[in-house]
Amino acid sequence: MSKTSRTVITMPAQAKQGSIIEIRAIAQHDMESGFRYSEAGKVIPRDIIRTFSCTYNNVPVFSADFYPGIGANPLLIFTTIATETATLEFKWVGDDGYEAINQAHITVT
Amino acid sequence: MKLLTFSLWLVSISAGFFTNALANEAALDSRQSSYTLMTAENKAMQDDASLNPALFWVMDGQGLWQEKSGQKAIACASCHGDAGTKMRGVATQFPKIIKGKLQTLESQINQCRVEKQQAPELAYESKTLLALTVFVASQSKGMPIAIEETQQNQKDLQQGRQFFNERMGQLNLSCAQCHQDRAGLKLGGSMIPQGHPTAYPIYRIEWQSLGSLQRRLRNCMSGVRARQFEYGSPEMAQLELFLMWRARGMTLETPGVRP
């Protein structure tokens, strides 16, 4: 079973070459820790995002591992250097076949 | 002599409490949204669209608004059209008497679903009902809450006011004792807010999710060890009506973020 969810990327559409750009990546996800119990007393199985990665024109520039202690709808804010006009790809992979992909384009002058 | 000053001091303190309580209901200007009590980070989370997680529910709601549903296979948009124009200001008027019954925004959405779409009711606090509610409510963002006392809602408003002032639960506390008489003081480490429902449904960080005003009210009721009003009950609607009337004129912030 594969699942996905909404993601939002916020970053500048244009930048000067060599400048530092801020990227915000937020994903809609419950991040169920696996430590909680339902009202019936059963453990709610863990269902979290495991990894996040960002590639800039297919070159990895940022990645992160997620753990059960991370809250719902995780937001990542990170920076990179605007090197060239290209597409950035963002990918979240998680439990139970979860996968979400988003893209953003940047024009570097 | 010392004893006399002490008892005089006590009298003036309790007189102070009393006048405060009266003044709070009268002085509308001293009202504040609990937004003002939040940290700069949490304020930014609410204001900045790239940070506010509630926007995921708004987007879901936007999708549901267009989606055909029920035996009649019609969408909300089929009757109501463009939410941006047709739903603007709607949330500022709820809870509202419709066909003789006091309806909250949630119960009115369900009413529409059952009667017009012939679809099953949505469960309270389900993602779908929250998404539709927050989508509709966020169309009124920035508008003043417009509840007025009318001949029709007078009885419900009065009942709501009574619930607000009535002690309940094992701790024997009323809403008013904290959120009116002691608003601005501390309960544990946190400031007691005035309890104006200006941003519902809210993304509450403690909940890690979006939630309705009714969920928040049930929170307090369990906190004072009272029997909680049921979701969608007339009591809930009446209390909600009173709170919205109490916050009349204040700006609707939906979708809000609260700690």
Using an 8 Å Cβ cutoff, are A73 and A7 in contact?
Answer: no
> Does an H or E element contain A8, and which?
strand A7-10
pLDDT at B6 over 90: no
Inter-chain residue contact B208 with A26, CB threshold 8 Å: no
Which of A8, A35, A36, A47 would best serve as a mutation to test chain B binding (most B beta carbons within 10 A)? A8
**pLDDT in the model for residue B21:** 45
Structure tokens at B17: 């409490």
B150 C-beta neighbours (distance < 10 Å), count: 10
CA A49, A54, A59 angle in degrees (round to 5)?
Answer: 140
Of B215, B94, B230, the residue nearest B109 (C-alpha)? B94
Quick one: three-class SS letters along chain B?
CHHHHHHHHHHHHHHHHHHHHHHHHHCHHHCCCHHHHCCHHHHHHHHCCCCCCHHHHHHHHHHHHHCCECCCCECHHHHHCCHHHHCCCCHHHCCEEECCEEECHHHHHHHHHHHHHCCCCCCCCCHHHHHHHHHHHHCCCCCECCCCCCCCCHHHHHHHHHHHHCCECCCCECHHHHHCCCCCCEECCEECCCCCCCCCCEEECCCCEEECHHHHHHHHHHHCCCCCCCCCCHHHHHHHHHHHHHCCCCECCCCEEEC
What is the rounded average pLDDT of the residues B188-200? 92
**Domain spans in chain B, listed from the N-terminal domain onward:** 31-259
**pLDDT in the model for residue A1:** 42
Q: State how far Cα B219 lies from the chain centre.
A: 13
**A76-87 burial string, b = 16+ CB within 10 Å, else e?**
beeebebbeebe
Three-class SS state of A96: helix
Inter-chain residue contact A31 with B208, CB threshold 8 Å: yes
Architecture in CATH for domain B31-259: Orthogonal Bundle (1.10)
**pLDDT in the model for residue B190:** 87
With cut-offs at 50, 70 and 90, classify the pLDDT of residue B114.
very high
Using an 8 Å Cβ cutoff, are B249 and B144 in contact?
Answer: yes
CA distance A46 to B127: 19
The set of residues, in sequence order, having a beta carbon less than 8 Å from that of B148 and lying 6+ positions away, is: B245, B248
**pLDDT in the model for residue B28:** 63
With cut-offs at 50, 70 and 90, classify the pLDDT of residue B83.
confident
Tell me which residue has tokens 């809403």. B175
**Domain spans in chain A, listed from the N-terminal domain onward:** 7-108
What is the rounded average pLDDT of the residues B47-75? 91
Using an 8 Å Cβ cutoff, are B256 and B212 in contact?
Answer: no
**pLDDT in the model for residue B27:** 59
pLDDT tens track for B119-156: 999 999 999 999 999 999 999 999 999 999 999 999 99
pLDDT tens track for A20-77: 999 999 999 999 999 999 989 999 999 999 999 999 999 999 999 999 999 999 999 9
**pLDDT in the model for residue A66:** 96
What angle, 0 to 180 degrees and rounded to 10, lies between the N-to-C axes of helices B234-246 and B154-165?
Answer: 90
pLDDT at B23 over 70: no
A100 C-beta neighbours (distance < 10 Å), count: 19
pLDDT at B11 over 50: no
> Does an H or E element contain A107, and which?
strand A99-108
Inter-chain residue contact B56 with A71, CB threshold 8 Å: no
**pLDDT in the model for residue B4:** 44
pLDDT at B16 over 60: no
pLDDT at B227 over 80: yes
Q: B53: which chain A residues are within 8 Å (Cβ-Cβ)?
A: 26, 28, 72-73, 75
**pLDDT in the model for residue B225:** 96
Q: B222: which chain A residues are within 8 Å (Cβ-Cβ)?
A: none
* B175 tagged catalytic: no
**pLDDT in the model for residue B81:** 85
pLDDT at B14 over 60: no
Q: Please state the ipTM of this predicted complex.
A: 0.85
**pLDDT in the model for residue B196:** 94
With cut-offs at 50, 70 and 90, classify the pLDDT of residue B85.
confident
Inter-chain residue contact B208 with A8, CB threshold 8 Å: no
* Fold of the A7-108 domain: Immunoglobulin-like (2.60.40)
pLDDT at A97 over 60: yes
The set of residues, in sequence order, having a beta carbon less than 8 Å from that of B234 and lying 6+ positions away, is: B102, B156
Residues forming beta bridges with residue A86, ordered by sequence position: A106
Candidates B50, B53, B59; nearest CB to A73:
B53
With cut-offs at 50, 70 and 90, classify the pLDDT of residue A91.
very high
pLDDT at B12 over 60: no
With cut-offs at 50, 70 and 90, classify the pLDDT of residue A2.
low
CA distance B231 to B217: 10
Q: B59: which chain A residues are within 8 Å (Cβ-Cβ)?
A: 6
Inter-chain residue contact B53 with A28, CB threshold 8 Å: yes
